[in-house]
Amino acid sequence: MSKIIVFGASGQLGQCLKLVSEQQNISDIHFLPEEQANILDISGLEKIFASEKPAYCINCAAYTAVDKAEDEGDLAKKINRDGAANLARICKQTGITLIHVSTDFVFAGNITKLLNENDPAEPINVYGLTKLEGEQAIIDSACNHYILRTSWLYSEYGNNFVKTMLRLGIEKDELRIVSDQIGTPTYGVDLANCILHIIKNDMHQYGLYHYSNEGVTSWYDFAKAVFDI
């Protein structure tokens, strides 16, 4: 397999990628934690790319605190838009393929139908807007890219809904969970497998794609399922 570098290695998806790469005995993959690889430092990035000489760059680095982004919009924009733009620029200059992970938050929150890649993006919060701007920066760069929008990511790692519910279930006697928000939970290991499958079987069908597990549920029913396991 061609050499791969991963930004945001200490996050939820980065750790899922590490697990899956170990399970598949993929050795030519380098995980770059944030303290060693700042996607806002363009000169630092250029040195990393020159040293590593990868064929693929996976960007898992992101500002993901949806609610806090309303107060930290500048920081969210720097990481989600400018960081993505920096990686795309270097990938374009060097001929490297960029795999970038985005979110269903680029869409309005009141949609109940299944969405495809051609549906109009209408983010309703700062987080969704910054992720959409990151997508557009990558597209505008004209680098070889796969943008993967996913939804309700969960796993054994990082901060996610499942782990939050388990923690709150211990701390509180009663939980109030909304039932009017519908989505598709996606297991981080499945997304990691999808990303590595794209690299292994790269047909150069670059562009924007949606990836999630099957089915739909509400946050309320998702929480019930967590406690029923």
Among 127, 128, 14, 19, residue whose Cα is nearest residue 60: 14
Q: Which residues are catalytic?
A: 127
Contacts of 156 (CB under 8 A, 6+ apart): none
Q: What is the pLDDT of residue 133?
A: 99
CB atoms within 10 A of CB 101: 25
Q: What is the pLDDT of residue 13?
A: 98
CATH 3.10.20.740 for domain 4-160+184-216: no
**pTM of the complete model:** 0.94
- Is 218 in contact with 46 (CB distance < 8 Å)? no
Among 44, 35, 152, residue whose Cα is nearest residue 105: 152
- Is 184 in contact with 212 (CB distance < 8 Å)? yes
- Is 137 in contact with 198 (CB distance < 8 Å)? no
CB atoms within 10 A of CB 92: 16
The token pair at 43 is 């000169």
The token pair at 171 is 């701390």
Q: What is the pLDDT of residue 35?
A: 81
Q: What is the pLDDT of residue 174?
A: 82
| Domain layout of the chain by residue ranges | 4-160+184-216
Q: What is the pLDDT of residue 4?
A: 98
CB atoms within 10 A of CB 69: 24
- Strand pairing category for 145-150 and 217-218: unpaired
- Is 199 in contact with 1 (CB distance < 8 Å)? yes
| Spatial distance between the Cα atoms of 19 and 192, rounded to a whole number of angstroms | 9
Q: What is the pLDDT of residue 65?
A: 93
Strand partners, 153: 186
Task: Name the H helices within the chain.
Answer: 12-23, 42-52, 73-77, 84-94, 126-141, 161-171, 188-200, 219-228
- Is 173 in contact with 210 (CB distance < 8 Å)? no
Per-residue pLDDT of the chain in tens (229 residues, 90 and over written 9): 789 999 999 999 999 999 999 999 999 999 997 888 999 999 999 999 999 999 999 999 999 999 999 999 999 999 999 999 999 999 999 999 999 999 999 998 766 778 889 999 999 999 999 999 999 999 999 999 999 999 999 999 988 888 888 887 888 878 888 877 888 999 999 999 999 999 999 999 999 999 999 999 988 889 889 888 7
